[in-house]
Homo-oligomer: A and B are copies of this chain.
């Protein structure tokens, strides 16, 4: 083969496209029923949008190039900067809360490996403009609503929830300063990814005071909010940040998704911009990657030149969703090579005119209809009908346009009916609808 797709990307042949379409349709249906509206942006942005948010290091991780005027452009590696840009541009005219979703194609200059592609699709959910714990609960509800929609159960997947606000409050109680928080988050986020000894070493470098470090380790060993309450110093500010997380779990119970949710102080999210509750979903099986992740961000829009609007959101990708569904046997089988409703059969020399007329009319009425370019024996055409998984064969004699009649064979039951042309479409539709 002379030409191939770029390494680390995927071609979507019809059977792959069917899976992607099914995931997209589910994302869209769940978004709409939760009251979200869809938006999208161009595939590229001016590069400075990304460097403004993430610094110059980001340039290594994305595809950038020059436009004709010599300005640097970059393929979208994530959607959040674009979301902030678009909201900032129309902020005053958008009713609050702004509940938006998108399903962007994203590109990153990754070294390809399992689960890390140079191109993938994301589902992004964001609620912007209301700093209300109900918005955090609703964002988590939407993720769980999707999990349930595709058949995932609490035995298979869990949403691990913590709060940057709480962790910040408790770290300050332990004597940490504001400027120590970011490196702490980065390290805590890597806890389960690093070998234990390496983690301990990095922690000792970051927190040289042994007593302070002991207390920190004790805090991050807490497996419940009750335990956190006990480990905390008990200042009023400290209690308030814990009680906010307690309240979030109550709201999730009220929403009916409590059984999917678990407190996990180890969830801090690597990304720099989270400021409140944070959450990550994990499968309970073999897949060790986070299936979705998100949280509240307070400063993002302002840092990109807009109003100080707080938001909460999450993202997941088609790659990880496909992996987790495959693991649990929940991916539908899409070997539906060009399924059609009716295969219109040219019964004898001289039928073609009628076949074309009937195919044209059926399609126009919304019935998926197929036919053979070449006159062939009826048996061979019936075989083609089966190959296309046609539900009906419509058998057309050369006299069909005169008699206004055709034979309709139900290829599942074998039942055959003589049907008048002016009722053909209604006849097929009724049968297709009733599924009988």
B89 lies within 8 A of A1 (CB): yes
A160 CB–B CB distance under 8 Å: no
A205 CB–B CB distance under 8 Å: no
B356 lies within 8 A of A251 (CB): yes
Specify the chain B residue showing the minimal Cβ separation from A12: B40
User: How long is the Cα–Cα vector from A232 to B200 in the complex, in angstroms?
Assistant: 89
Chain A contact residues, majority secondary structure: mixed
| Also in contact, A1 and B305, with CB within 8 A (given A6-B73, A132-B374) | yes
**Chain B residues in 8 Å Cβ range of A360:** 141, 145, 254-257
**Chain B residues in 8 Å Cβ range of A356:** 137, 251, 254-256
A254 lies within 8 A of B352 (CB): yes
Task: Render A34-71 as a binary contact track against B, CB cut-off 8 A, 1 for contact.
Answer: 11111111111110110010000000000111011100
A13 lies within 8 A of B90 (CB): yes
Which residue of B63, B145, B255 is within 8 Å of A65 (Cβ)? B63
User: How long is the Cα–Cα vector from A32 to B48 in the complex, in angstroms?
Assistant: 42
B3 lies within 8 A of A304 (CB): yes
User: How long is the Cα–Cα vector from A242 to B75 in the complex, in angstroms?
Assistant: 49
Shortest C-beta distance, A171 to chain B (Å), equals 29
Shortest C-beta distance, A106 to chain B (Å), equals 10
**Chain B residues in 8 Å Cβ range of A251:** 356
Task: Render A215-251 as a binary contact track against B, CB cut-off 8 A, 1 for contact.
Answer: 0000000000000000000000000000000000001
A1 lies within 8 A of B40 (CB): no
A100 CB–B CB distance under 8 Å: yes
A366 CB–B CB distance under 8 Å: yes
B35 lies within 8 A of A340 (CB): yes
A412 CB–B CB distance under 8 Å: no
A107 CB–B CB distance under 8 Å: yes
A130 CB–B CB distance under 8 Å: yes
Task: Render A383-400 as a binary contact track against B, CB cut-off 8 A, 1 for contact.
Answer: 000011000000000000
Specify the chain B residue showing the minimal Cβ separation from A21: B38
Shortest C-beta distance, A356 to chain B (Å), equals 4
A269 CB–B CB distance under 8 Å: no
B369 lies within 8 A of A33 (CB): yes
A13 lies within 8 A of B39 (CB): yes
A11 CB–B CB distance under 8 Å: yes
B17 lies within 8 A of A38 (CB): yes
**Chain B residues in 8 Å Cβ range of A374:** 132
Which residue of B18, B38, B41, B67 is within 8 Å of A14 (Cβ)? B38
**Chain B residues in 8 Å Cβ range of A388:** 35
Kindly list the 6 A-B residue pairs having the minimum CB-CB distance in the complex, ordered from nearest.
Answer: A2-B305, A9-B42, A65-B65, A14-B37, A254-B356, A12-B40
- A-B contacts, 24 of them at CB < 8 A, read A1-B89, A2-B304, A3-B48, A6-B67, A12-B38, A14-B39, A14-B100, A17-B37, A33-B369, A34-B363, A35-B388, A42-B118, A63-B73, A67-B118, A68-B111, A95-B337, A95-B387, A130-B373, A132-B373, A132-B374, A141-B363, A251-B356, A256-B357, A257-B360
